[in-house]
Chains A and B, each alone.
Chain A
Amino acid sequence: MRPFDYHRAETFDDVTSGQIIAGGTNLLDLMKIQVMTPEALVDITRLEGLSAIVPEGDGLRIGALVTNSALAYDPLVRAGWPLLSRAILAGASAQIRNKATTGGNLLQRTRCPYFYDTSQPCNKRTPGAGCAAIGGGGRMLALFGTSDHCLAAHPSDMAVALTALGAEVEIHGANGTRRVPLQDLYVPPADRPDRETILETGDLITAVILPAPKSGSRQGYRKVRDRASYAFALVSVAGAVTMEGGTITDVSLAFGSVAPKPWTIPEVEQMLLGQPASDDLFRRAADLLAPDPAPHPETEYKRALLRRTFVATMRQLTGLADTTGTDIARAEA
């Protein structure tokens, strides 16, 4: 780890230039192995007004410093947006969730092993250096939205649920405060995979806004990984489905660990909407899920795995499959 200056911001005006640190659960790891070598850290954990979960209209305003644990166990979240609780609890460990924050989770870096190994060229670390994952080992890489310069996947669970729930991000910047859909926070890797979001110097994520609950919807987060806990997803599916008399009247979906950001495929939702739930429908929708071929030969398996996980999740969310013992939940108003 390199020496760095440390500044604890007491007010918004006191947020000096430098690398923002909140929970630090990802940043400190990256600093230790010198994948990130900031000269200055600005600790925002003492800023007021960013640690609360409060109703906003019919929705919810989640301060950027709310910890993953506090968010997952919040009674309002559990009742109205159970998908979010489920996704958070599917990630990391209790200790990490106690420390990690809402804003930080959205900005965590990819877990591509070549990004983590400074002996390997990586365009995300050093633009133009090349990508060692191409031609290397790549089980955890993305299926969608990659470029010739970067195949890395976004590892968050929470952000996948937030995407399915239609969350917005509140950004405090030099020109005031603005809100963008979470989907629009992230930018495609293109030829600058080091640039991951629209955030400019001086921007700070201050909150995540959830829209009104999808009352009566069934919600679930299905994460498939190499072991039962404490592993990043191979693929994940976040879904919220409302049914009326066997017909799908509302559906929103997002897919995790398959793209540089939580991935959505509107055509899938369009195909499902207004249709009676059936295995045949889900199989046909699943065919829209997988590119052909996978960008890296070692992620080829993710095509089948994503399709199957999608079908299994839809069967549970629409009542075709027994949900005993699963954590599928119904959203309350």
Chain B
Amino acid sequence: MKDHFTMDSPQPRLLDETKQGVIGTPMDRPDGPRKVSGTADYTADHAPDGMAHGVLVRATIARGRITGMDRDTVLGIDGVIDVITDPRMIRNPAQGMAGSAPVQTGDEVHYHGQPIALVVAETFEAARDAAQRLTVHYHAEAAAVSPETTPDTETDDPVTAGDFDSSWSAAEVQIDRAYTTPSQAAAAMEPHAAIADWQGDHVTLRSALQMVRFNKAELADTLGIDPSKVRILAPFVGGGFGSKLGLGPEAAAAAIAAQKLGRPVRVVMTRQTVFDTVLRRSETAQRVRLGATKDGRITAISHDDRVSNIDGEGFAEPVSQASQFLYGADGLSFTQTVARIAATPAGSVRAPGEAVGMLAFEAAIDELADALGMDPLELRLKNLPEKHPIDGRPYSARRLADCLTEGAARFGWADRWQAGTRREGDWLIGIGMASAARSNMLVKSSARVRLTGDQAIVETDMTDIGTGTYAILAQITAEMLGLPAANVTVRLGDSDLPGASGSGGSFGANSAGSAVFLAARKLRAEIAERLGCDAEGLTLQNGQARGDNREAALTELVSEEILAEATIQKGKTAKSHFSSGFGAHFAEVAVNEWTGEIRVRRMLGVMSMGRILNEKTARSQALGGMIWGIGAALTEEMQSDPRDGHIVTRDLANYHVPAHADVPGDMQVVFLEERDDWANPIQTKGIGELGISGAGAAVINAISHATSKRAYDYPVLPDRMVALLEG
């Protein structure tokens, strides 16, 4: 049975009718025990017989050409097998959903830290020693490494609606502010890793990757072989956050080395290499202009930005993405400039765009409220547009106003005091809020569900990067087929299985979940036919099928395996309606008036993100996002050298993600009930990125409330806060 479904129209809310009662529940993830007992097999846990160890060698100039390597000196190190260079090696990881090889540079160097060779040895330590000691000779060239000063920039045509210039100049109240955010790292717990093993002309690659279907095509294109000769395995991935969307240099190098040496090769990046070469989130320079009438109607919105990337990468951090649809105005204008620099390439990191764009935009909204003498909550509520301000599409489902008011009630927003007037000892106390938004997507995705008696198996190349895919696909299948979730086995992360969307852009649960849903719906139809009832009248619960006054156990009806495969792709609803998750973040902070230290004391996120498939994993996603928001506002900053652009903060002791002590005990997440009928047949929205979108801005706005000072350069590290306090 095959179903190829295009999302052209809303579908019945079947998951609200089914009787198993497992969908939406806070079910523990079935893979949890394996993860906490060390038996979940992450890539680097494997060591096939005869495996050699590879360590990447990095370039130590910003731009130029390699003229030689003193291979002989390191080939003499005990255990070193080879120093491999190859024109097929890749400069940097593929961008998400590229499906083709990244830039292959041969002997050219495009940035400091670029992988330029692989040392292979019998032990990891020998390989690392040799990689460290390999002397490389270069012909160095001048390189622009600063986005501020590079002469090489590209500016897109502005995205506009109405006439911004006239709306702006006519505005009774104006806010015009510049903001900066630094480069950020995904900083996934599991370093990037790959093991390649050839059998004849077929290669099997185990790698920490988020998008197996695309990664298979990327590896085939990188190696110049047919995709049918590539198998990718990624059953467990230790965090991705965008950094494992695309095939990485470690995977290409492992495959090339394994082919050359005729034995399996494992390449695990050191943490320093992860910082050097994995795609960073671009730093941004932003300018927000807001115009309004004196009574608080926003009339003009402009959000311009400058981001950076290396030559040859099409990705540009979509900074103003959410600014284009959160609030309405008579005139809107958004212009992006990309600065080309010779530095670690930029790509998708959790909530590309919103994560940094909303920091600035929602801070500017707050400043506009101040200028108007309005409550920032009221200003937001007053300016929610009826339809998408740029393209005029209706919103599919939007409970932003409910999120704002519900959050305000729960947080105690009405008790807000005058800015800069509350202190506890040396600490100044303030509260702040911000809207949350992250646009929602559906990506082509396939899945197969097999049912034998009351046992089901789900098969798809979808990944679980720590998000809970194993749990939610089991829940969808169990709910649809009337089985306890424990009766469902989920197989993921194998490119021999039906190709899914992969994990990225918060679309994984929507897309892969819908494919599983549709396959299970097919099976329901088959079960109904066997039982002799209409599919609509079929009830499945605890392995029993009922309908039309008939009842039978699945073990009788399905004594031999039946299977269904389904593919979903987006259709007319994507054009007719605009779908996005929405929410509201609230934060309370304390700012030390002497040292500029900032502590978040409590945080609340109220979110409407469609149907919740698993209340526990969804909550974890939202909390994780909010903690990233704290990091973006207060701690996370990649620093690079002003001369050669190399990353200076190359480990987790110097790149500061929030520590436990930075996260308040009082972190609350509330989901408002919602179904998005226009999004997909299971009425869900993406949840992985909404938590971060706007969260940092609530912290930023709370700082302003506490101190009556506004920060425009993020994160607000103690030195930046002290400068404001001194000023």
Q: Which residues of A contact B (CB under 8 A)?
A: 1-3, 32-34, 111, 113-114, 116-120, 132, 135-137, 139, 222, 224-232, 234, 301-302, 304-305, 308-309, 311-312, 321-326
Contacts and interface: CB of A to CB of B under 8 A. Distances in A.
A33 B275 CA distance: 14
B132 interface: yes
Nearest to B59: A119
Interface string B713-727: 000011100110110
B272 interface: yes
10 contacts: A1-B128, A113-B648, A136-B641, A137-B640, A139-B639, A227-B656, A228-B599, A304-B726, A308-B722, A312-B426
B599 A312 contact: no
A228 B132 CA distance: 34
A224 B658 CA distance: 15
A95 B402 CA distance: 45
Given A137-B640, A137-B648, A111 B653 contact: yes
Interface string B385-428: 00000000000000000000000000000000000000011100
Contact of B643 (A3, A32, A135, A231): A135
A228 B600 CA distance: 10
Contacts of A136: 641-643, 648
Nearest to B112: A119
A305 B719 contact: yes
Which of A113, A117, A135, A227 has most B Cβ within 10 Å?
A: A227
B594 A308 contact: yes
B78 A308 contact: no
B444 interface: no
Which of A111, A137, A302, A304 has most B Cβ within 10 Å?
A: A137
A258 B493 CA distance: 50
Nearest to B598: A228
A152 to B, nearest CB: 14
Nearest to B651: A116
Contacts of B112: 119
B662 A229 contact: yes
Contacts, number: 115
B555 to A, nearest CB: 51
Interface string B628-661: 0000001100011111001011110110101111
A116 B270 CA distance: 14
A215 B494 CA distance: 68
CB-based closest 3 A-B pairs: A312-B594, A228-B661, A229-B661
Contacts of A228: 597, 599, 659, 661-662
Nearest to B272: A33
A234 B661 contact: no
B426 A224 contact: no
Nearest to B131: A34
B595 A312 contact: yes
B401 to A, nearest CB: 35
A229 B659 contact: yes
B719 A301 contact: yes
Contacts of A301: 719, 722-723
B129 interface: yes
Given A228-B661, A302-B719, A308-B595, 13 more contacts: A117-B648, A117-B650, A119-B58, A136-B648, A224-B596, A226-B656, A227-B656, A227-B659, A229-B662, A231-B653, A234-B719, A305-B596, A321-B426
Nearest to A234: B718
A315 to B, nearest CB: 8
Interface in B115-133: 125, 128-129, 132
Contacts of B270: 33
Contacts of B639: 137, 139
B129 A2 contact: yes
A167 to B, nearest CB: 26
A113 B662 contact: no
Contacts of A116: 650-651
Contacts of A227: 634-635, 656, 658-659, 661-662
A232 B634 CA distance: 16
B321 interface: no
Contacts of A222: 595
